[in-house]
């Protein structure tokens, strides 16, 4: 593990090395929504009945900043693909840790009212579902719980705090980050695996899902936020992780159509 960096992507072949730091990924994701206030998706979201006690662009920014924060626990989870002779970092299940950190730690430290809880729960939904694989329950049972997650040391915690702080805008956000950073020190590797494996059983997941099912406005906001996060995620990944010999998946081009029409 690098003691000085937090990677959001790492792939090493016989003739190439692709490394993407978390700070680079967040920065590129945010660049994808730099025109958000003038976009069609923004105008659509503002028409949905919701009391925006937090600004819309701030809420979307927070979902992007925190969507990959769970990857900090995977910095030594190297795998080897024998068929392609590739060494890489695997982040299977990181979205569940990102969801836990944002929904159970940051949101708890940040919100003042039920209205803010509603808005930030939309962020929680997009973070939880930004990896949308089928058969997720089976994968949690058979794959995710076997990943090599680590206990965080002071160096990694300080680097994470430094990384996230660069994208926060006010003292309220920074103070909430300070408090959750201290709590993250107490998440052992065993606790991290427990969070991953139990997410779909926990009340936090059930509450988010019940809101999605029962509240049409929450559902509209959540799907719009999720689409925006997916576009920003794929936009950034293709920009930094791109290989000359590897074509992006078809889903990437679908998302770029969304980007061109709704976000750009």
The tokens describing 57, both together, are 């662009």
The per-residue pLDDT for range 186-206, each reduced to its tens digit, is: 999 999 999 998 888 899 999
pLDDT at residue 1, rounded to an integer:
46
At 3-25, the pLDDT tens digits run: 579 999 999 998 889 999 999 99
Using CB atoms within 10 A of its CB, is residue 6 exposed (0-12), middle (13-18) or buried (19+)? Answer: buried
pLDDT at residue 161, rounded to an integer: 96
Sign of CA dihedral 168, 171, 172, 176: positive
Structure tokens at 155: 């160096």
DSSP state of 81: E
Mean pLDDT, residues 88-94 taken together = 93
Strands in 17-21's sheet, in edge-to-edge order, are 17-21, 7-12, 86-89, 78-81
Q: Which residues does 98 contact at the CB level (< 8 Å), separation at least 6?
A: 66, 67, 68, 69, 70, 71, 127, 128
Average pLDDT over residues 132-148: 74
In this prediction the pTM is 0.94
Sequence-ordered list of residues with C-beta below 8 angstroms from that of 204, at least 6 positions apart, any chain: 99, 100, 103, 104, 124
Q: pLDDT (tens digit, 9 = 90+) per residue, 101-137? A: 999 999 999 988 888 899 999 999 999 999 876 677 7
Extended beta strands in the chain, E state? 7-12, 17-21, 78-81, 86-89
**Position 253 pLDDT exceeds 80:** yes
- Of 22-31, 105-114, 158-167, which gets the smallest average pLDDT? 105-114
HSE value, Cβ hemisphere, 13 Å, CA-based, for 236: 28
pLDDT of 245 > 80? The answer is no
- pLDDT of 210 reads 95
């Amino acid at each position: 593990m690098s003691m000085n960096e937090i990677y959001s992507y790492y792939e090493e072949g016989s003739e190439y090395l692709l490394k993407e730091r978390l700070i680079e990924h967040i920065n590129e994701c945010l660049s994808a929504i730099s025109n958000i206030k003038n976009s069609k998706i923004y105008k659509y979201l503002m028409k949905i009945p919701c009391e925006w006690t937090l600004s819309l662009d701030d809420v979307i920014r927070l979902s992007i900043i925190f969507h990959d924060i769970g990857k900090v626990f995977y910095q030594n989870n190297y795998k080897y693909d024998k068929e392609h002779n590739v060494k890489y970092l695997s982040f299977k299940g990181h979205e569940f840790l990102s969801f836990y950190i944002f929904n159970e730690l940051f949101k708890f430290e940040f919100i003042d009212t039920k209205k803010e809880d509603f808005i930030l729960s939309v962020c929680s939904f997009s973070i939880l579902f930004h990896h949308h694989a089928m058969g997720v329950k089976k994968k949690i049972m058979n794959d995710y719980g076997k990943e090599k997650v680590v206990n965080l040391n002071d160096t990694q915690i300080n680097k994470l705090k430094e990384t996230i702080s660069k994208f926060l805008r006010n003292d309220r956000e920074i103070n909430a980050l300070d408090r959750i950073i201290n709590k993250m020190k107490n998440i052992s590797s065993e606790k991290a695996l427990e969070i991953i494996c139990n997410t779909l059983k926990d009340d936090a997941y059930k509450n988010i899902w019940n809101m999605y099912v029962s509240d049409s406005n929450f559902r509209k906001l959540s799907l719009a936020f999720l689409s925006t996060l997916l576009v920003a995620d794929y936009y950034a990944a293709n920009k930094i992780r791109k290989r000359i010999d590897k074509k992006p998946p078809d889903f990437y081009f679908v998302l770029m159509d969304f980007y061109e029409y709704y976000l750009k």
